Amino acid sequence: MIIPKELYSEIRSNNCILFAGAGISTEGGIYGKPTLYEIIKRISKHPKKKKKPSFPELMQYYCDNLDGGRKNRLIRVIINRIEDFSEYGEIYMSTTMFHRYVASIPYFKIVVTTNWDPFFERELNVLVPMVEDIDIPFWDDNKRQILKIHGCVTRPYTIVATSNDYSNCIKERSKNPIFTKLKDLMATKTFIFVGYSMRDPDVHIIFDQLLNNLGDFARLSYAIDPQPSEEVIKNWSKRGVKILKLSAIAFMRELENELKKEGIIPNPELIQFYAEQRELITEIHLSTSQSTDKGFASSMYQDGVIHELDYIIGQCKFGVTFETLENKFKENLGVLKEHTRRMNLVEVAYWKGRIEVIKRFLSRRLRPVPPYFDPKKMKPVNK
């Protein structure tokens, strides 16, 4: 296994938090698209002879020289750029590949990010991300949480981008609830940095402002970097961070494979099989005649099959373990069977459909679901 055993153990114990930067999202070089940094440098006509500015320095230069020190133009550029990646299609799917892997892993309950885009919220099905201090009272340890310490494009006034923003962030926000929550997490959890460069000011702020009081008691952190230079390794090491030499996607694939081997999460073949079963049953459902008792019962049964398949597919996408689903289904199975004894034909056929899917899921075998229901025998049939 490429992932260190001690890190894998921490992940399995729900002790790890992903800290995600722009490199796993819009700034990952999708299809050769220029980065936001490159775009701003070009349109601001930053002098080539001057020293290469940091990201916030360049954003500040743009605001000072093109908008009289205001941020309106810059925010509009940021909004337009994120919109370019937001339309569902090939670019969006590539941009959010990492996010979907995170969604499928049950052990990443919390994601911290400096990204402004709403892609983690979308893919992890999180309704309220933690962006401002007023959001923190709605933090729920029983649900997945996204902590966005540099704002969100859906709330443009929260975006941290320029040198002035970073300065205010350090002076004013470092003692506020959002950063207090981050400090608590970093003191008690193992962080995995992904999508960052060691030169990112975000990283410097995190370590210099948030962890400087912990000293030798700070937890070892990890950073994902496929081709780190010796300088990068040295700089990360100084801050108590161990480099893993692989890409972000390779890391997630390796983790997913290990969890599948242990039978902790469903493998893609199983999910694909259920998706194909849903498509097949749906086609049959649309063509099933309801003019007879058998046709009507089969139609209701197919409704139950489709609804249960939808539930399973959805749960697997959002990081639910086999064990969690199995325990829930075992509890439900007895209740459903008891209910079907007191129901009319329509209800029995529907719930028998859901039961049939549950039984097949619990067997962990790729067994096709019978597409019809025989009202005389009161059971699913293939014809």
Alpha helical stretches, state H, the chain: 5-12, 36-44, 55-66, 72-86, 90-95, 97-104, 119-124, 163-168, 177-188, 201-205, 230-238, 248-261, 268-287, 293-317, 322-340, 345-363
Q: Which residues of the chain have pLDDT under 50?
A: none
Q: Residue 137 sits in a domain of what CATH number?
A: 3.40.50.1220
Residue of 311, 293, 325 whose CA lies nearest to 353: 311
Residue of 84, 88, 40, 89 whose CA lies nearest to 65: 40
Clarify whether residues 182 and 243 are in a common domain.
yes
Clarify whether residues 150 and 25 are in a common domain.
yes
**Phi, psi angles (nearest 5°) of residue 6:** -65, -35
Residue of 56, 51, 52, 50 whose CA lies nearest to 36: 56
Clarify whether residues 318 and 255 are in a common domain.
no
Cα distances from 343 to residues 95, 148, 160, 297, 308, in angstroms, run 48, 49, 58, 13, 19
Clarify whether residues 270 and 223 are in a common domain.
no
Clarify whether residues 97 and 168 are in a common domain.
yes
Clarify whether residues 357 and 309 are in a common domain.
yes
What pLDDT does 160 receive?
94
Clarify whether residues 277 and 254 are in a common domain.
no
Residue of 249, 19, 230, 254 whose CA lies nearest to 115: 19
Q: What is the pTM of this model?
A: 0.86
CB 239 within 8 A of CB 207: yes
Q: Which of 198, 225, 259 delimits the end of a domain?
A: 259
How many residues are present in the chain?
383
**3-class DSSP assignment, residue 280:** helix
Clarify whether residues 317 and 216 are in a common domain.
no
What pLDDT does 216 receive?
67
- Interacting residues of 205 by C-beta distance below 8 A, sequence separation 6+: 166, 169, 170
Clarify whether residues 203 and 218 are in a common domain.
yes
Q: Cα(115)–Cα(368) distance, rounded to whole angstroms?
A: 43
* Domain count for the chain: 2
CB atoms within 10 A of CB 117: 25
Q: Cα(164)–Cα(65) distance, rounded to whole angstroms?
A: 14
For CA atoms 194, 195, 198, 202, the dihedral sign is negative
Residue of 210, 220, 150, 151 whose CA lies nearest to 180: 210
Q: Which of 214, 240, 259 delimits the end of a domain?
A: 259
- Interacting residues of 354 by C-beta distance below 8 A, sequence separation 6+: 304, 305, 307, 308, 336
- Interacting residues of 239 by C-beta distance below 8 A, sequence separation 6+: 203, 207, 211, 221
First-to-last C-alpha distance (Å) of the chain? 47
What pLDDT does 210 receive?
62
Q: Cα(74)–Cα(49) distance, rounded to whole angstroms?
A: 23
CB atoms within 10 A of CB 193: 24
> Domain limits at 52?
5-259
Clarify whether residues 192 and 297 are in a common domain.
no
Q: Which of 259, 284, 305 delimits the end of a domain?
A: 259
Clarify whether residues 137 and 233 are in a common domain.
yes
Clarify whether residues 95 and 192 are in a common domain.
yes
